[in-house]
């Protein structure tokens, strides 16, 4: 009897869905990606959100994990239109009344800016820079025996701490403490929680390996390059087709979901056992974000102009202030002076705005589903380090948690990285299971950021899910 025509259907075309499709197609599988939105890309889309000629990244903007991804870096994405543009520095961290702290590719240049903590920064990060790609291959993976145990052990010794504790143990002064806190703040966790040092140290390592780049033309270039390469391998993509039930999908041997666990439950229904659905129902999505995109009539007037070198600016002041901001949002309160992740894409890619003008965005973390308008708090924080900033704003576009969830069902309650990545859920996402990508139904797999290694544009959730589904399909390699 003839089997289904397709080996795999992938629901959702975010970076993980496309990476999964590519990884399967590379091994000879016939694949179809079905995307609900009219445009592919999920969290990697770019649009004129404010004024004509201003290209804004709706979600992801800066991509250290994209350029360093153990899977994406093996793909010929340059031949399919992806061009990484590198800033002069990865991160700027402005402080009141003193020069900004700069995280640059050069370990020496970065250390020089850290005063009495120069040697401590070298000791913290230096030992991890010997074979960074080995480290990333193990970190951006599900829980398993590491391929490079020495590198992982070195990393683990630093990662187990809370960011707050590690910063206080290792550094004596405010500058280095703030720099580490700014990097760790991407975890969207209170920085007093164990393991929050992990992301801080990891992001610092990536910045010494690659300048945190933006794609020419916007983050949509990543999805487009993946899609173009997928098509060259024979894969097909259909857009504008939201999937509501398994019955709507063409026959295939496996289905991979680049969706939230909640969406998987909604679509698969009884095809998954009730117990597993209940466990998925207990998945924690975590805080949301409130984001502003700006069209600007000039560069951001930072008090320290060195900040213009960086693709990303961590706005939030000292370690203590950033800890307070992230503690507040975790406890369901709005921080008075929120920690911001601010990206200035057009500084690196001038084509994003008309000549002489600029784009930029900043977001802060807020309690899940918070309806609060954080425009004033965000712009006040920028103004604090860049007096006159508000005068440069030609137009702004705001998105809160409800807008994000309406834009993409994967952002439940406005949570942008696929779910809480704390010590309890980092490797047990979406549930504790030997193979977290598989489900009790042998045909169905999850490949989104709600699986290890979690949020970010690196495609590694998709890659590992494709490995798991590939075993089911009996694919070689
Ligand atoms: C404001 C913001 C800023 C960010 N900044 C960065 C950054 O600078 N760098 C970085 O690396 N990461 C960043 N991220 C995170 C990153 O965008 C996500 O972690 C990443 O996109 C997750 O990829 P994914 O493939 O798992 O899911 P997604 O990118 O969310 O894609 C899921 C796709 O599935 C589709 N879908 C869902 N349900 C269905 C259905 N029923 N039928 C059909 N299709 C469906 C959706 O439309 C979507 O296209 C940011 C995210 C946000 C929101």
Give the model's pLDDT for residue 2.
59
Please state, in angstroms and rounded to a whole number, the distance separating the CA atoms of residues 7 and 40.
Answer: 21
CB 211 within 8 A of CB 89: yes
Of 1-5, 380-384, 470-474, give the lowest mean pLDDT range. 1-5
| Distance (Å) from CA 17 to ligand 1 centroid | 10
DSSP letter (8 states) at residue 78: G
Confidence of residue 206 (pLDDT cuts 50, 70, 90): very high
Ligand 1 centroid to Cα of residue 258, in Å, is 9
From 60, 71, 202, mutation site for ligand 1 pocket: most ligand atoms within 8 A of C-beta? 60
Residue 178 pLDDT more than 60? yes
Q: Return the closest-CA partner of residue 334 out of 286, 293, 378.
A: 378
Q: What is the pTM of this model?
A: 0.97
Asked whether 462 and 16 are in contact (CB, 8 A), the reply is: yes
Q: State residue 5's pLDDT score.
A: 85
Give 1's pLDDT tier (boundaries 50, 70, 90): very low
- Please tell me the distance between residue 105's alpha carbon and the centre of ligand 1 in angstroms: 28
Which one-letter DSSP state was computed for residue 385?
Answer: H
CB-facing half-sphere around the CA of 303: CA atoms within 13 A: 17
Closest approach atom of ligand 1 to CA 243: 42
Distance 388 CA to ligand 1 centre (A): 33
Which of 61, 69, 85, 57 is CA-nearest to residue 22? 69
Residues above pLDDT 70, as percent of the chain: 99
Ligand 1 atom with minimal separation from the 404 CA:
53
What is the rounded CA–CA span in Å between residue 176 and residue 116?
Answer: 9
Distance CA 27, CA 141 (A): 20
Measured by CA distance, the residue closest to atom 15 of ligand 1 is: 456
pLDDT at 423: 87
pLDDT (average), residues 352-362? 98
Tell me: pLDDT of 305 over 50: yes
Confidence check: pLDDT of 126 > 80: yes
Among 14, 291, 401, the mutation site with the greatest number of ligand 1 atoms within 8 A of its Cβ is: 14
Interval between CA 274 and ligand 1 midpoint (Å): 27
Q: For residues 212 and 66, is the Cβ–Cβ distance under 8 A?
A: no
Q: Which residues contact 137 (CB under 8 A, 6 or more apart)?
A: 70, 147, 148
Q: Is the pLDDT of residue 93 over 50?
A: yes
CA nearest neighbour of 287 among 326, 232, 229, 314 = 326
Residue 476, pLDDT score: 78
Residue 425 has pLDDT above 80, yes or no: yes
d(CA 214, CA 60): 9
Distances (CA, A) of 228 to 45, 46, 463, 467: 15, 17, 17, 21
Q: Which atom of ligand 1 is nearest to the CA of 37?
A: 47
Residue 243 CB contacts under 8 Å (≥ 6 apart), including other chains: 11, 34, 36, 249, 267
Pocket perturbation via mutation, ligand 1, pick of 9, 10, 11, 12 by most ligand atoms within 8 A of CB: 12
**Cα distance between residue 472 and residue 466, in whole Å:** 10
Cα(349) to centroid(ligand 1), Å? 22
Axis crossing angle, helix 149-159 with helix 132-139, rounded to the nearest 10: 70
- 157 CA → ligand 1 middle, Å: 31
Which residues lie with the beta carbon below 6 Å from any ligand 1 atom? Answer: 11-17, 34-37, 42-43, 59-63, 65-66, 242-243, 258-259, 263, 267, 289, 291, 363, 404, 408-410, 416-418, 448-449, 455-457, 461
Closest atom of ligand 1 to 448 CA is: 26
CB-based contact 216:85 (threshold 8 Å): yes
DSSP 103-153: E-S-HHHHHHTTGGGHHHHHHHHGGGSSSHHHHHHHHSS-SS--SSHHHHH
Between the CA of 322 and the centroid of ligand 1 the distance, in Å, is 25
CA of 38 from ligand 1 middle (Å) equals 14
* pLDDT for position 144: 92
- Minimum CA distance residue for ligand 1 atom 18: 456
Distance (angstroms) between ligand 1 centre and the Cα of 43 equals 3
State the chain's mean pLDDT as an integer.
97
Angle between the N-to-C axes of helices 163-170 and 319-330, in degrees from 0 to 180, rounded to the nearest 10:
170
Q: Tell me what the mean pLDDT of segment 3-24 comes to.
A: 95
């Amino acid at each position: 009897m003839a089997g289904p025509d397709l080996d795999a259907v992938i629901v959702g075309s975010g970076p993980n869905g496309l990476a999964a499709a590519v990884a399967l197609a590379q091994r000879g599988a016939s694949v179809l990606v079905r995307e609900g939105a009219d445009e592919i890309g999920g969290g990697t889309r770019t649009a004129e959100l404010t004024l004509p000629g201003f290209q804004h990244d709706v979600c992801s903007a800066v991509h250290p994990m994209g350029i360093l991804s153990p899977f994406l870096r093996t793909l010929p994405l340059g031949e399919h239109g992806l061009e990484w543009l590198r800033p002069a520095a990865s991160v700027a961290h402005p402080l009141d009344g003193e020069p900004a702290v700069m995280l640059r590719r050069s370990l020496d240049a970065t250390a020089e800016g850290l005063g009495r903590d120069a040697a401590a920064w070298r000791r913290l990060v230096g030992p991890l820079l010997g074979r960074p790609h080995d480290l990333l291959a193990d970190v951006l993976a599900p829980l398993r025996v590491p391929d490079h145990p020495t590198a992982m052990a070195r990393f683990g010794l630093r990662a187990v701490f809370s960011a707050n504790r590690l910063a206080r143990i290792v550094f004596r002064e405010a500058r280095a403490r703030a720099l580490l806190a700014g990097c760790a703040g991407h975890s969207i966790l209170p920085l007093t929680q164990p393991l929050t040092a992990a992301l801080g140290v990891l992001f610092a390592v990536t910045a010494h390996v690659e300048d945190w780049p933006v794609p020419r033309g916007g983050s949509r270039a990543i999805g487009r390059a993946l899609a173009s390469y997928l098509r060259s391998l024979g894969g097909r993509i259909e857009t504008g087709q939201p999937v509501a039930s398994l019955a709507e999908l063409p026959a295939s041997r496996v289905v991979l979901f680049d969706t939230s666990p909640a969406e998987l439950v909604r679509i698969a229904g009884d095809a998954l056992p009730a117990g597993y659905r209940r466990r998925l129902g207990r998945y924690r999505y975590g805080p949301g974000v409130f984001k502003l995109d700006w069209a600007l009539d000039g560069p951001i007037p930072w008090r320290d102009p060195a900040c213009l070198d960086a693709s990303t600016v961590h706005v939030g002041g000292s370690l203590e202030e950033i800890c307070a901001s992230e503690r507040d949002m975790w406890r369901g309160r709005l921080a008075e002076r929120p920690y911001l992740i601010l990206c200035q894409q057009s500084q690196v890619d001038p084509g994003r705005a008309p000549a002489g003008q600029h784009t930029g965005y900043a977001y802060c973390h807020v309690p899940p589903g918070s309806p609060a308008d954080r425009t004033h708090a965000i712009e006040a924080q920028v103004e604090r380090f860049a007096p006159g900033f508000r005068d440069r704003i030609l137009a702004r576009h705001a998105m809160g948690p409800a807008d994000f969830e309406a834009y993409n069902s994967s952002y439940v309650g406005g949570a942008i990285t696929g779910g809480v990545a704390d010590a309890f859920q980092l490797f047990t996402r979406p549930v504790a299971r030997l193979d977290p990508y598989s489900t009790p139904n042998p045909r169905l797999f999850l490949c989104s950021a709600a699986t290890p290694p979690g949020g970010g544009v690196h495609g590694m959730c998709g890659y590992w899910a494709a490995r798991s589904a590939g075993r089911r399909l009996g694919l070689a390699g």
